[in-house]
Amino acid sequence: MSEGKIWMDGSLVDWDNAKIHVLTHALHYATGVFEGVRCYKTVNGSAIFRLGDHIQRLMDSGRAYFMEMGYSKEQLERAAIDTVRANGMDECYIRPIAYYGYGKMGVNPLPNKVSVSIAVWKWDEYLKGGAEKGARLMVSAWARIDHRTLPMHAKATANYANSALARMEALKSGFDEAVMLNTSGMVVEASAENIFLVKGGALVTPPTSSGALGGITRDSILTLAKDRGISFEVRDISRDELYMADEVFLSGTAAEVKPVGEIDNRTIGDAGRVGPVTKKVKEVFEAAAHGKDEKFSKMWLTPIN
């Protein structure tokens, strides 16, 4: 990961020169907002999945932190396309970030300029647990921060200290990923993915009011489920419901649709084998992302060329 170009405040710079000052406000006070987007190799060439929705979420996240981005939504979409093109990749992960930069120290970021950058890299398997086995999860002892503490609809760097603690706890305990509960003890999401369970053929996922991020993959899955006649419910989930689910999977841009085989050492569903509904959801999601679903690929894909 040391080649290629990174877009920084309007210019494409060499990977190794994409540097910022050590007194950057966001480094000290977590005053940044970011996105994770994917570009897929599709049947009609490379295309970015739901680019407009990701850039809109970035702008919305910035609003919660009074950020003046200095770029329109269209300019940032263009910048993402230019960065992918400049790196000559047909498939990649795209990381736009906006943050309060170097200037005045102290908690108030407002005197500092907001900088924006976009990097891309190859990121194949974000979460361990192969397609057949599924990931092993543990419920974290760290409660998910909630709307009283931070704007949870914002994909802000500040939220990720909480995620990182849970993820490290899970990895050091020998698991692949953490499930986080909110301060009311209900299931929210994993450290960087939304969560779904399947019971009696229907999908269930917690509402964003639980503290879960309004995931774009989550939204795509619910939209595709509606279209394909897979029933679903958006409601609170308790920890023990996860143990008794027929199937559980995670969703996110980095992790995509990730089957879960085990939670807190309890096997999920049929001996941890990936269940039929998860398989179906994965299949329809991948078809849409790879340009094989006429209706949704057209709506959701932005071609690179």
**How far, in Å, CA of 200 to CA of 237, rounded?**
15
77 sits near ligand PLP (criterion: CB under 6 A): no
216 sits near ligand PLP (criterion: CB under 6 A): yes
46 sits near ligand PLP (criterion: CB under 6 A): no
Site string for ligand PLP, 154-183 (x = CB under 6 A): ---------x--------------------
Q: Which of 5, 155, 258, 282 is catalytic?
A: 155
Instruction: Check: CB of residue 232 under 8 Å from CB of residue 202.
Output: yes
* Residue 41 falls in the annotated catalytic set: no
> Between residues 179 and 274, which has the closer beta carbon with respect to ligand PLP?
179
Instruction: Check: CB of residue 227 under 8 Å from CB of residue 182.
Output: no
**How far, in Å, CA of 119 to CA of 84, rounded?**
9
> Between residues 13 and 150, which has the closer beta carbon with respect to ligand PLP?
150
Instruction: Check: CB of residue 223 under 8 Å from CB of residue 296.
Output: yes
Q: Which residue, among 96, 38, 34, 86, has the nearest Cα to 62 in the 3D structure? A: 34
Taking CB under 6 A as the criterion, the residue among 77, 189, 247, 293 binding ligand PLP is: 189
Taking CB under 6 A as the criterion, the residue among 217, 222, 237, 247 binding ligand PLP is: 217
215 sits near ligand PLP (criterion: CB under 6 A): yes
Taking CB under 6 A as the criterion, the residue among 4, 206, 252, 261 binding ligand PLP is: 252
218 sits near ligand PLP (criterion: CB under 6 A): yes
- Within 10 angstroms of residue 27's Cβ, the number of other Cβ atoms is 17
Taking CB under 6 A as the criterion, the residue among 36, 62, 101, 206 binding ligand PLP is: 36
**How far, in Å, CA of 209 to CA of 187, rounded?**
11
Closest distance of CB 218 from ligand PLP, Å: 6
**How far, in Å, CA of 155 to CA of 213, rounded?**
7
Instruction: Check: CB of residue 282 under 8 Å from CB of residue 247.
Output: no
Paired with 136 in beta bridges are 262
Chain center to CA of 286: 16
> Between residues 192 and 274, which has the closer beta carbon with respect to ligand PLP?
192
Size of the site for ligand PLP (CB under 6 A): 14
Amino acid found at 271: A
> Between residues 112 and 217, which has the closer beta carbon with respect to ligand PLP?
217
89 sits near ligand PLP (criterion: CB under 6 A): no
Binding to ligand PLP (CB under 6 A): which residues in 190-209? 192-194
**How far, in Å, CA of 1 to CA of 11, rounded?**
19
Stretch that binds ligand PLP, among 100-108, 189-197, 258-266, 294-302 (CB under 6 A): 189-197
**How far, in Å, CA of 99 to CA of 101, rounded?**
6
Assign 102 to helix, strand or coil.
coil
Stretch that binds ligand PLP, among 64-72, 90-98, 214-222, 259-267 (CB under 6 A): 214-222
Residues that bind ligand PLP (CB under 6 A): 36, 163, 189, 192-194, 213, 215-218, 251-253
Residues serving a catalytic function are: 155
